[in-house]
């Protein structure tokens, strides 16, 4: 099976712009989660989507949003970019059932490295 794919791999934007990142999960996986990785804050959870619905959200401002399509592919959007949004954005997928407990492993993509100038 192909792994999680993320596009683009690298991105340079300027302050005030917006950006959209894309994630294709492993075939058959229905849950997609997004994480931000920075040297200062480490790995932080952004949000999770399952069956096109946001199931969980981390502590990020409303400028960060996402969505999931019927084929489980997901996009995240960051509007009005700030210098501090420079980070590696990681997408992870898992085969999650509809139950509230989730023991499944999350498999990560290679990430999109965003640089905001």
Interface ranges with other proteins (CB under 8 A): 4, 31, 33, 35, 42-43, 45, 48, 50, 55-56, 58, 90, 92, 94, 96, 100-111, 113
To the nearest whole angstrom, how small is the minimum distance from the Cβ of residue 80 to other proteins?
A: 25
Distance CA 88, CA 10 (A): 9
To the nearest whole angstrom, how small is the minimum distance from the Cβ of residue 73 to other proteins?
A: 17
Cα–Cα distances in Å, from 35 out to 1, 39, 77, 99, 105?
A: 23, 13, 13, 22, 15
Distance CA 67, CA 41 (A): 24
Identity of the residue, 43 or 117, whose beta carbon is nearer to other proteins in the bound complex = 43
Identity of the residue, 18 or 54, whose beta carbon is nearer to other proteins in the bound complex = 54
- CB–CB of 90/58 below 8 Å? no
Identity of the residue, 78 or 96, whose beta carbon is nearer to other proteins in the bound complex = 96
To the nearest whole angstrom, how small is the minimum distance from the Cβ of residue 83 to other proteins?
A: 21
To the nearest whole angstrom, how small is the minimum distance from the Cβ of residue 82 to other proteins?
A: 23
């Amino acid at each position: 099976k192909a792994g999680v794919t993320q596009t683009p791999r690298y991105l340079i934007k300027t302050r005030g712009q917006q950006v959209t990142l894309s994630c294709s999960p492993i075939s058959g996986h229905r849950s997609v989660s997004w994480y931000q990785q920075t040297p200062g804050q480490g790995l932080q959870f952004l949000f999770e989507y399952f069956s096109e619905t946001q199931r969980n959200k981390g502590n990020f401002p409303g400028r960060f949003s996402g969505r999931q399509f019927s084929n489980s592919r997901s996009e995240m959007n960051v509007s009005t970019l700030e210098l501090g949004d420079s980070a590696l954005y990681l997408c992870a997928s898992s085969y999650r059932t509809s139950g509230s407990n989730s023991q499944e492993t999350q498999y990560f993509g290679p990430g999109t490295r965003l640089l905001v100038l």
